[in-house]
Chains A and B, each alone.
Chain A
Amino acid sequence: MKTDIILCGVGGQGILSIATIIGEAAMKENLYIKQAEVHGMSQRGGDVQSNLRISSNPIQSDLIPLGGADVIISMEPMEALRYLPFLAKEGWIITSSTPFVNIPNYPDIETIKADLEKLPNVIMLDIEQKAKDAGVPRSANVILLGAAQKALGIEYEKLEDAIRRVFGRKGEAIVDANIKALGIGAAYSK
């Protein structure tokens, strides 16, 4: 198997914890992993992305070529579109529908949603609201991960196990909240 993933959002939205869970699941399966992150200045409210590649064969480049990403997982709808040239024609976008407006010229959200809906494979969810409704407000990002499960090609149980290992030392309550969030998202996975 080989899945190339772009994780994106705005600095501070928690894309790296999604990457950590996927990485943990992949490592357990003895898959090869490369994950390029962005640290530093852009983490201050700027656009951030991470290239995550998992494969059963050795991986060369840390960066995904144009048109090569199988999945874009985005914590923010406009950010999902920023990396469009990297998405494979039949690739999936799994994105939050809630805009993060910290710039004066943020486009009309309806335009952004329309741009997304034009694409063949998009799952757009109000993860913030769903997280609040389910009483797991801190786990919105894991709902998004759940929604991406099928596109990622990683079995649900393996993501669940990875959550247990990643959050285990933070206590049972946090593990449970994240597993609940994963389940909520997985219901939308296609």
Chain B
Amino acid sequence: MKKLLLGDEAIAQGALDAGLSGVYAYPGTPSTEITEYIQMSPLAKERGVHSRWSTNEKTAMEAALGMSYMGKRALVCMKHVGLNVCADPFVNSAMTGTNGGIVVLVADDPSMHSSQDEQDSRFYGKFAMIPTLEPSSQQEAYDMMSEAYELSEKLQLPILMRVTTRMAHSRAVVQCADEARQPNELNYNAKASNWVLLPAFARKRNDIVTAQQPLLEQMAVDSKYNRYEDGKNQELGIIASGIAYNYLMECFPNGCPYPVLKISQYPIPKKLIRRMTDDCQYVLIAEEGQPFIEDQVRGVMPGNAVIKGRLTGELPRTGELNPDLIKKALGMEIGENYATCEDVAPRPPALCQGCGHRDVYAALNEVLLNYPNARVFGDIGCYTLGFLPPYKAIHSCVDMGASITMAKGASDAGQWPAVAIIGDSTFTHSGMTGLLDAVNENANITVIISDNLTTAMTGGQDSAGTNKFEAICRGLGVSEEHLKVVVPLPKNMEEIKKTIDEEINYHGVSVIIPRRECMQTLQRHLKQKKAAK
């Protein structure tokens, strides 16, 4: 059956066809559509495949471990920075091993289209000593899923699959299986001695996993996804991984004259690389992300070949690749083209018209006119756009949840007013624990949980804490008198300003919750209502 699928959708369909029992994920561009596809899939519904959003990537990874423990196949999806959040269970999942297969799907975002860094998840795969897959096409992404689950169950290791923005968010026709494999039955094969990571037991597992490494490398040498393609002109050899392989081939519509080593499975296939460094005078390495292969090739392959790539300037050190950058690295001419039009102005994203965050920032800015040294610690979400004009309202944005903890640290340092602004979904993702720290020391901070009842930035997914925020704050010890709820609308401006001002002047932890539905989900809900009539 042929389907026109986004890379993300091909991964989701591949997992379902491989007999998936549950997907666990927190929304994050460019990975969100995988879980959304499974949520909408009739097959997933019929089979009762778990697909509800997790509170964060760590809870997602751990739930997947539980499902694997019981013998079933689980998928964990996240954007690259989400892997930092679940690094603890992720790395330890190689120590416990798997029972049912686990695929950890991480979508990296080189050039940072929607992210705060461009870290390369392949390093995590190496670090955790597990096989890593990096598809070059949507078809490969689909095909790799069932093989990844087989491999995971055979090796008793989780498998990392790394994609990048252009793979996640690009559509192509994918040939899918006509029938989906049956999900695994629940079993009790998981051995507690593997899964209890007490030092004495973990050491044994560590020895086993370490001893598996030569096997993993041999598998990469034999993998059908790693391919040595002969070329007539051996002056230059090219190693291209993942989507960079496509950009390379785009430059040679009639076939590449140079030998090409395509890499889509790691650890790096040293034997194939050695063949290239022996055969060729120069080797160009094209990879999306950081110089992961290049660093290793330089480290372990003295060889005869001169290595060129991101570290020597033939390719840019940072940012996404594209066909033109590869052409340039190969010394080929760029096609004739028009110059950039000087009259075009940049159009950065902005908060939607009517968005409640706008009213929150308008009120906050007016109040803070009286406190010229106030610092507002921001967080990750639509409201990060409050840094841009016209609001210019926040002074930091680092990672999920850092608004509250940074405000606390600033307050510890003697800063006042220290204001944290965080969204509802980000608060439950990683803000709650920081709020507990603040409460325990009665830190002099004002926390604004700007609640729009959804995970808005990624397109309006359910938010784990909806209807629970007052209870959560009370439970963490925020006092009733300093827990305020307001409705962010222009008509309530005076009340909101008064509330913010009062709470800044309370010397302890206060939480203000401005609550109004996101404009995007509101419009969607109104449309659905209209359609239902």
Q: Do A and B originate from a single complex?
A: yes
**Closest B residue, CB atoms, query A102:** B350
Chain A residues within an 8 Å CB radius of B270: none
**Which residue, A44, A61, A105, has most C-beta atoms of chain B within 10 A?**
A61
| A35-B171, A38-B113 known; A67 vs B345 contact (CB < 8 Å) | no
Which of these, B33, B334, B346, B349, contacts A39 with CB under 8 Å? B33
Are A40 and B338 in contact, with the CB atoms below 8 A?
A: no
A154 at the interface (CB under 8 A from B): no
> Could you tell me if B345 and A23 are in contact, using CB atoms closer than 8 angstroms?
no
Q: How far is the CB of B323 from chain A (nearest CB, A)?
A: 4
Docked-complex contact B337 and A85, CB < 8 angstroms: yes
- For A27, the closest partner residue in chain B by CB is B4
**In the assembled complex, which residues on chain B have CB atoms less than 8 Å from the CB atom of A106?**
345
Complex CA distance for A47 and B170, rounded to whole angstroms: 18
Q: Flag if B349 contacts A85 (CB, 8 Å).
A: no
Instruction: Knowing A11-B349, A44-B352, say if A38 contacts B171 (CB, 8 Å).
Output: no
Is residue B30 contacting chain A, with contact meaning CB distance below 8 A? yes
B166 within 8 A of A: yes
Contact A41 B246 (CB under 8 A): no
A40 touches B114 (CB 8 A): yes
Q: How many of chain B's residues touch chain A, expressed as a range?
A: 35 or more
Interface residues in A22-67 by Cβ distance below 8 A to B read 23-24, 27, 32-47, 51, 59-63, 65-67
Interface contact A82-B336, CB-CB below 8 Å: no
B339 and A85 contacting across the interface, CB-CB below 8 Å:
yes
The answer to whether the Cβ of B494 comes within 8 Å of any Cβ in the partner chain is: no
With contacts A27-B4, A65-B335, A78-B345 taken as known, whether A45 is within 8 angstroms of B113 at the C-beta atoms is no
CA distance A36 to B322 in the complex (A): 12
Contact A38 B169 (CB under 8 A): yes
Bound complex: CA A24 to CA B323 (Å): 26
Instruction: Tell me the complex Cα distance, A155–B375, Å.
Output: 60
Q: Does B234 contact A (CB under 8 A)?
A: no
* B189 CB–A CB distance under 8 Å: no
Rounded to whole angstroms, the CA-CA distance of A36 and B340 in the bound complex is 21
Q: From the candidates A24, A39, A66, name the one contacting B32 in the complex (CB within 8 A).
A: A39
Chain B residues closer than 8 Å to A10, beta-carbon distance: 347
Cα(A165)–Cα(B170), bound, Å:
21
- Is A177 an interface residue, CB under 8 A from the partner? no
Given the known inter-chain contacts A42-B113, A61-B250, A67-B336, please indicate yes or no for A102 contacting B347, CB distance below 8 A: yes
Q: Which residues of chain B are within 8 angstroms of A23 by Cβ–Cβ distance?
A: 4, 171
B458 near A78: Cβ-Cβ < 8 Å: no
CA distance A104 to B350 in the complex (A): 12
Contacts of B29 in A (CB 8 A): 39-41
A107: Cβ under 8 A from any B Cβ: yes
Q: Is A73 an interface residue (CB 8 A)?
A: no
Q: Which residues of A contact B166 (CB under 8 A)?
A: 36, 62-63
Contact A44 B385 (CB under 8 A): yes
For the complex, give the distance between the alpha carbons of A82 and B30 in Å: 23
What CA separation (Å) do A32 and B138 show in the bound complex?
12
Selected from B171, B322, B343, B352, the residue in CB contact (under 8 A) with A112 is: B343
Q: How far is the CA of A141 from the CA of B339 in the complex (A)?
A: 27
On chain B, the residues within 8 Å of A145 by CB distance are: none
Q: Is the CB of A81 within 8 A of B343?
A: yes
Do residues B341 and A84 form an inter-chain contact, with CB atoms below 8 A?
yes
Partner of B246 from A61, A66, A85 at Cβ < 8 Å: A61
**Residue in A closest to B531 when the chains form the complex, CB atoms:** A170
Task: Please state if A44 and B382 are interface contacts (CB–CB under 8 Å).
Answer: yes
Query: In the complex, A40 Cα to B337 Cα: how many Å?
Result: 29
Q: What's the count of A-B pairs with C-beta under 8 Å?
A: 153
Query: Is A44's CB under 8 angstroms from B349's CB?
Result: yes
Q: In the complex, are the beta carbons of A33 and B347 less than 8 A apart?
A: no
Q: Which residue on A lies nearest to B244, using beta carbons?
A: A61
Question: Is B50 an interface residue when CB atoms closer than 8 A count as contact?
Answer: no
Looking at A27, A40, A59, the one whose CB has the most chain B CB atoms below 10 A away is A40
Are A46 and B349 within 8 A (Cβ)?
yes
Bound complex: CA A111 to CA B350 (Å) = 25
Using Cβ atoms and an 8 Å threshold, which residues of chain B touch A40? 29-30, 113-114, 457-458
Decide if A81 touches B350 in the complex (CB within 8 Å): no
* A99 to B225 CA separation, bound complex (whole angstroms): 47
Q: Which residues of B contact A33 (CB under 8 A)?
A: 4, 171-173
Q: Which of B250, B323, B347 contacts A46 (CB 8 A)?
A: B347
- Tell me the chain A residues, 81-124 only, with Cβ under 8 Å from chain B: 81-82, 84-89, 102-107, 111-112, 115, 119
Docked-complex contact B323 and A44, CB < 8 angstroms: no
Least CB separation from B173: chain A residue: A33
Residue of B nearest to A79 (CB): B347
Question: Which chain A residues border B327 with CB–CB below 8 Å?
Answer: 65
Question: With an 8 A cutoff between CB atoms, is B260 at the interface?
Answer: no
A159–B385 alpha-carbon span in the complex (Å)? 39
Q: Select one of B33, B173, B351 contacting A32, CB under 8 A.
A: B173
Q: Given A33-B173, A38-B113, A61-B323, decide whether A115 and B351 contact each other with a Cβ distance below 8 A.
A: no
B328-363 to A contact mask, C-beta < 8 Å, 1/0: 000000111111110111111111100000000000
A39 CB contacts on chain B under 8 angstroms: 29-30, 32-33, 114, 169, 459
Chain B, 151-188, CB within 8 A of any chain A CB: 166-167, 169-173
User: Are the C-beta atoms of A65 and B324 separated by less than 8 Å?
Assistant: yes
A68 at the interface (CB under 8 A from B): yes
Q: Which residues of chain B are near A112, meaning CB under 8 Å?
A: 343
Contact status A68-B338, CB under 8 Å: no
Residues in B with CB closer than 8 Å to A105 are 345
> In the complex, which of the residues A59, A65, A82 has the most CB atoms of chain B within 10 Å of its own CB atom?
A65
- Central interface residue in A37, A41, A86, by most chain B CB within 10 Å: A41
Residues in B whose Cβ lies below 8 Å from that of A63: 166, 247, 322-323
- For the complex formed, measure the closest distance between the CB of A44 and the CB atoms of chain B, giving whole angstroms: 4
* A155 vs B146: C-alpha distance when bound (angstroms): 39
Contact B351 A44 (CB under 8 A): yes
Chain A to chain B contacts (Cβ below 8 Å), 22 pairs: A24-B4, A35-B170, A35-B171, A36-B166, A36-B170, A37-B169, A39-B33, A42-B349, A44-B349, A46-B348, A60-B246, A60-B247, A60-B250, A61-B249, A66-B337, A79-B347, A82-B344, A85-B340, A102-B347, A103-B346, A103-B347, A106-B345
Pairs A-B, 9 closest by C-beta atoms: A67-B337, A40-B29, A40-B114, A46-B349, A61-B250, A67-B335, A60-B249, A62-B170, A36-B170
A positions within 8 Å CB-CB of B = 10-11, 23-24, 27, 32-47, 51, 59-63, 65-68, 78-79, 81-82, 84-89, 102-107, 111-112, 115, 119
Query: Which residues of B are at the interface with A, using a C-beta cutoff of 8 A?
Result: 2, 4, 6, 29-30, 32-33, 113-114, 166-167, 169-173, 243, 246-247, 249-250, 322-324, 327, 334-341, 343-352, 382, 385, 389, 457-459
